Chains A and B, each alone.
Chain A
Amino acid sequence: MASRPKFSVERNKQFWAYIFLAVPILFYVVIRFYPTLFAFYLSFTDWDIVSTEMNLVGLKNYRELFGDSVFWITLKNTIKYVVWGLPISLLLGFVLAYQIDRVKTGDGLYKAMYFIPYITSMVAVAWVWRWLYQPVPIGVFNNLLSSLGLPTLAFLSSKTQALPSILATTIWADLGFQMIIFLAGIKAISPSLFEAARIDGANEGQVLLRITLPQLKPTVVFLLITGTIRYLRIFTQVMNMTYQGEGGPLNSTKPLVLYIYDNAFKSFKMGYAAAMTVVLFTLILIVTLIQMVVTRDEK
């Protein structure tokens, strides 16, 4: 040992740590970073997947994008998914966590019940909900409405109800995740804070507003960042809940990612699709940067 002071146990450990880390880094470079950079390049070409040549066309794809009404519709839909879906799922997730935290017996059962949808395959969830939303005589919801003598709803076949219907499914599946993270956040708050508040005679509302919520800020920021990215990339639900993934009716549910998929793998307009992924990438980047700045202030 003394003869090789440079390779101490500590150094050796570090050396092997780097070796092991090199494998995922290599993986990321080949599988993630290279294709990402390549997508930037593709967005300036007219590649159609089957041609051997890729012609550089400059900003043509981007110009076309700005004149493409469906692109704007899908972008708007994507934003709707985020601004409507995320706050609702965060709020519900918090309410659930707050209540489960106060339950003394059977909280494990509740946690499991709310968490199971999150670990269920989204494709399976989407198909089951698609059937629930069907008109009479198949759909459970409409059969229920109809048996109560109420008018039935169009759900997925309506321009205005389809997006909220898909969003409801998404939130339902997402809730467990938000709840578990909130619950962990609540449990991590030092009990002495609550005790001190109780001694000072604070009521429940004051404890919630002055202690629980402020202490949960890092949790909320984390859920906001991951949630925004997740809702911006919404795809599986719409792909499976609308017929052959068309994102209808009249594109009213089609998110940007599904439009990218259609262009790339149904119409084979790879260059055009790549241009859209660049837009989405920029969008996610901006959102993440803003949220990172917010967290830094926190520290």
Chain B
Amino acid sequence: MKKSMLVVLMLLMVLPFVFAAGGQEVKADTAKQDVTEIVYWQYFYETKKDLMDKLIVMFEERNPDIKVTQQTFPYENYNTKVASSVPSGQGPNVINLFYGWLPLYIDSGYLQPLPESVFPNARIENEFFPLVEAAKFDGKYYALPTAVRSLALFWNKDLFKAAGLDPEVPPKTMDEMVAFAKKIAKTDKSGNYLQAGMSLELRGQMHHVVREVLVRQFGGTPYNADSSKVTYNSQAGYDALKWFTDLETVHKVGIPQYMTDDVTAFSAGKMGITIDGSFRLGNFNKLKDTLHYGVAELPEMNGVKSNFASFWANGITSTTQGKELEASIKFLEFLTSDEVMAMWLPAIGELPAKKALALKDEFKNDPTYGPFIRGLEYAQATKFLDENAQRMVWINAYDEVVLNGKSPKQAVDQAAAEEQKVIDAYYAK
């Protein structure tokens, strides 16, 4: 009895190796038929993976000599996974990276520049939204997106109605947004929020709003032209942080991490207004029976409109050479084609990266995608070098004011010094 158990156990241990060996043989077979195999990496997001599977079938039908294998990894440790695969020399040919991570991978020589012959700079800059320039280093483009994302204001129509506001009219200016939020916010006798007026979630998208929207609306710029110097330690920056912390301390329209985070609170119908990305439409649409919301462009202030845009871009790794490189370039051309972009929008909720396509009337005037697309025209893509650290400085600046009682000026100056250190550390290499 015991012996037979042992045999079964040993078989179990050996079997995976047998299968692994089998898998390798299949690969060898396809190589014989002169098929170039390339590997594509992206993080796991169900709709993205499913669409990519379909796109790969389309691509392989048109290019029978190329086989694309998609591998996905959990979002939470995708960056770590990619980074730790670099020293081992194992990895994909074409890879999907967040634009904020590009400096690290370009610097280390992990990505190769896109060939000028296929992707000339002039054409990229003519066709794509200008924010794609965040993927340009030393005059060369290293990655191109299929889709871009921007921010918009989401409002809960039921809460608007309950607060005596017109459920079809979103706030047009920042001040109006605060006024509306004050009407929606509800507290009990001891000041606990039963319902929040608006999101204060710097940990979500609000740090982008402070950095790229409020600072500009108060007449400043967050960084200098080549993003090597922090410039929000100015009156505009102080005003922006004061305006934002006043939401909690003076206007009492909500608190950070209300109901753990803004997405939960808005989904639960406990938050009147939030600012979030187009990628969130998928989450909110699933709740459309209980959550009745509208989407609008970000409110303006002092006549200034601004927005934050970001993107995931596809690049080619440096170790990809010869036939694999040719195949990878073809695949990248396919992924950045109008055809794929048009499929991407309804399936994923991310916006076409090319201006001509995105600004078509059917997209631009769409009630849900429209505000995001119109926002793209005046959107900024912050050139992040260490996004996590750069987000933390604003979260800490907020806490310094609200929890530590520092003045917005002190807090912003401290944040600017810390962020400058992150930037300097990068350029010192």
Contact = CB atoms under 8 A, between A and B. Distances in A.
A250 B403 contact: yes
A51 interface: yes
Interface stretch (A21-29, A98-106, A132-140): A132-140
B9 to A, nearest CB: 16
Interface string A40-75: 000000001111100000000000000000000000
B403 A249 contact: yes
Contact of A250 (B257, B388, B400): B400
Contacts of B77: 265
Contacts of B193: 135-137
Interface in B66-125: 77, 80, 83-84, 86-87, 104-105, 107-110
Contacts, number: 83
Contacts of A130: 260
Contacts of A93: none
Contact of A249 (B86, B107, B261, B399): B399
Nearest to A267: B386
Interface in A111-169: 130-131, 134-138, 142, 146, 151-152, 157-159
Interface stretch (A6-14, A180-188, A240-248): A240-248
A266 interface: yes
Contact of A152 (B192, B194, B260): B192
Given A50-B104, A243-B261, A249-B399, A136 B194 contact: yes
A151 B192 CA distance: 9
B188 A146 contact: yes
B404 interface: yes
B388 A136 contact: no
Nearest to A250: B399
16 contacts: A48-B104, A50-B86, A50-B108, A52-B87, A130-B260, A135-B193, A135-B258, A136-B193, A137-B194, A137-B259, A138-B259, A146-B190, A157-B255, A249-B399, A249-B403, A250-B396
B55 interface: no
A38 to B, nearest CB: 12
A134 B261 CA distance: 11
A236 to B, nearest CB: 15
A136 B403 contact: no
B392 interface: yes
A134 B87 CA distance: 42
A244 B387 CA distance: 13
B258 A268 contact: no
Given A157-B255, A159-B404, 20 more contacts: A48-B108, A49-B83, A50-B86, A50-B104, A50-B105, A51-B107, A52-B108, A134-B260, A136-B188, A136-B192, A136-B194, A146-B190, A146-B192, A152-B190, A248-B399, A250-B396, A265-B83, A266-B386, A266-B388, A268-B104
A159 B395 contact: no
Nearest to A145: B190
Interface of B: 77, 80, 83-84, 86-87, 104-105, 107-110, 188, 190, 192-194, 203, 255-261, 270, 386, 388-389, 392, 395-396, 399-400, 403-404
A265 B274 CA distance: 31
Nearest to B261: A243
A246 B84 CA distance: 22
A180 to B, nearest CB: 31
A250 B109 contact: no
Nearest to A131: B260
B142 to A, nearest CB: 14
Contacts of A135: 192-193, 255, 258
A186 to B, nearest CB: 38
A159 B398 CA distance: 13
Q: Please provide the 8 A-B residue pairs with the shortest distance between their CB atoms, ordered closest to farther.
A: A50-B108, A136-B192, A50-B86, A266-B388, A249-B399, A51-B108, A49-B83, A265-B80
A47 to B, nearest CB: 9
A142 B388 CA distance: 31
